[in-house]
C-alpha cells in the first residue's frame, strides 16, 4: 500500500494506514488457558475439514440454490428445513 501511494505521489501519514485488527485481538479465555499452561490453536475459519458445519452449510446452500425458484423467504426457509431433515443429526 505504501509503495503504491509513493508511486502515485499521494501524501499520507503512517497512522492513516489500515492495520490488521485481528493481530491485536485478545480473548479472556485464551489468557485463562495460557495462565494454566495450555496452548491455544485457533482453527482457520470456514475450513471444512476442521469445522464440519461448513460441509453442512454447503449442502444446505446447494439445495436451496437448486430448488428455490420463487426467491421468497418462506420457500427458502422450507427448503432449508427440508435439507436439514434429510441430512439428519449425523
Single out the residue of 90, 37, 65, 89 nearest to residue 79, CA to CA.
65
Task: Please give the chain's pLDDT, 90 residues, in tens.
Answer: 788 888 999 888 877 777 666 666 788 998 999 999 998 888 887 787 888 888 899 999 999 999 988 888 999 999 999 999 999 877
- Euclidean distance between CA atoms 55 and 43, whole angstroms: 15
Three-state DSSP state, 39: coil
- Euclidean distance between CA atoms 19 and 16, whole angstroms: 9
CA 49 to chain CA mean position, Å: 14
Statement: the pTM of the whole predicted model exceeds 0.75 = no
Amino acid at each position: 500500500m505504501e509503495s503504491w501511494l509513493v508511486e502515485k505521489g499521494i501524501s499520507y501519514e503512517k497512522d492513516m494506514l489500515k492495520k490488521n485488527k485481528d493481530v491485536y485481538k485478545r480473548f479472556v479465555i485464551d489468557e485463562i488457558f495460557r495462565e494454566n499452561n495450555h496452548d491455544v490453536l485457533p482453527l482457520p475459519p470456514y475450513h471444512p475439514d476442521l469445522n464440519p458445519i461448513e460441509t453442512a452449510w454447503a449442502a444446505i446452500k446447494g439445495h436451496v440454490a437448486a430448488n428455490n425458484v420463487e426467491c421468497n423467504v418462506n420457500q427458502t426457509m422450507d427448503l432449508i428445513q427440508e435439507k436439514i431433515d434429510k441430512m439428519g443429526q449425523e
